[in-house]
Structures are given as C-alpha cells and as structure tokens.
Amino acid sequence: MSKNVLILMGSPRKRGNTSILCEEFARGAQEAGHRVETIYVARKKIGGCLGCNGCQKNGGTCVQKDEMAEVYEKIMAADVIVLASPVYYYTWTAQLKAVIDRTYALLATMHNKVFYMVSTCMSPDESWCAMMIDSFRNYLACYDETVTEGGYVFGFGTGEPGDVRGSEAMGKAFEMGKAIR
Ligand SMILES: Cc1cc2nc3c(=O)[nH]c(=O)nc-3n(C[C@H](O)[C@H](O)[C@H](O)COP(=O)(O)O)c2cc1C
C-alpha cells in the first residue's frame, strides 16, 4: 500500500550532506511506490515550545501561531516520518529540536506513525552518536505503542557538503526508503 512519507529536514544547509542522504531515502521510498514530501524546517519560522501546557488542556492545539501549523497538518497526514538532522554537539540541530518540542502538542493525538532518523556527522563511527540514538528512541517512547521506529542511518566523516556521496550510508538510506511497507 502506498504510504505518505514526510521528511522533516533539519539541517540549515539545504544542499548539505543530510539533505543528500534524505534524497536517497526518498528515491528508495518513491521507487517502492510511496509519496514523499520534504519540509526544510530550517527555512520555516517555527518558535520553540513555550512550556505553557496550553496544548495539554485544549485537546492538542498549540497556542503559537507560526509556520508549525503546516507541519502539524503534514505530520498528522503522514504514515512515515523521517527526523533528519546533522549531529550538532551530539544531538539535533536547534531547528529540528524546535519542531520535536512542538510535537508535545500531539502527545495524545499522534498515532500509527513509523519514524526513521537520517543523520550525518563529522565523527567516524556510531560510537559517537549514542546521544542521538537515545534521543530518537526516547522521543518515540513518549508516544503510544502505535508510534514505532523504522530504523536509522548515519553518514560518518562528513564535513563539506557532498562528503556523504559515495559512502555506505547512501545505499543504506536508499534501501531503508525502499523497504517501507
Ligand atoms: C554547530 C555544529 C556542531 C557540530 N557538532 C558535531 C558533533 O557533535 N559531532 C559530530 O560528529 N559532528 C558535528 N558537527 C559536524 C556536522 O554534523 C557534519 O559536518 C554534518 O555532515 C553537517 O551536515 P549538513 O551537511 O547536512 O549540514 C557539527 C557541525 C556544526 C556546524
């Protein structure tokens, strides 16, 4: 069955390594017949969560009126969501973290999603990415059991845009997208 795949691309570099890796994931998913949309969240005006708990009292609507409104709609319509971010000081970019925090409004309403993580980093291997993986998994654990992990991929040793090309991660990202069921 054809799925709606939403990529939340959190690098400020639109043509950088994370974006390139996401394109491979998208290519695989499209080849398998799925619809893919990418939102470059760093290009959007999305404020950080205010912690006002308004959303928890009003059925899940954030009090802030900004470009997160469109992201909420697309998250709710998606079957598959990709959290894509380079590693910045061992974790997400601030831009993607703002989106993640704003999904606090969806704590009671977000169901039936499969999440993937696509990431790149300067570090040479996964031993440097434990915080990223923990953060990804612990994030998913905050939702109900219908919100699950599909997998993750890291492009290692990437500094300049394009460094990820030709790496093992490219094939892994493609296959991961293609394997979406
Ligand atoms: C502010 C900043 C912090 C970074 N922190 C890390 C880090 O903690 N670990 C790491 O391996 N690479 C780190 N990097 C390197 C980037 O993760 C890496 O170059 C990545 O491929 C950039 O992705 P992009 O090309 O999609 O922008 C950092 C880069 C920047 C700009």
Tens of pLDDT along 132-152?
A: 999 999 999 999 999 999 999
Tens of pLDDT along 65-86?
A: 999 999 999 999 999 999 999 9
Pocket test for ligand 1, best of 24, 43, 89 (most atoms within 8 A of CB): 89
The pTM for the full model equals 0.98
For residues 100-120, average pLDDT: 98
Instruction: For ligand 1, atom 30, name the residue with the nearest CA.
Output: 88
User: Domain containing 94 — which CATH number?
Assistant: 3.40.50.360
Tokens of 86: 């380079």
Over the chain, what is the mean pLDDT?
98
Q: Quick check: CB of 84 below 6 Å from ligand 1?
A: no
Q: Provide Rg for the chain, Cα atoms.
A: 16
pLDDT at residue 3 in the model? 98
Domain count along the chain = 1
Beta strands in the chain (DSSP E): 4-9, 35-40, 80-86, 113-120, 147-155
Tens of pLDDT along 1-27?
A: 899 999 999 999 999 999 999 999 999
Q: Which domain holds residue 74?
A: 4-178
Residue with tokens 């039936």: 112
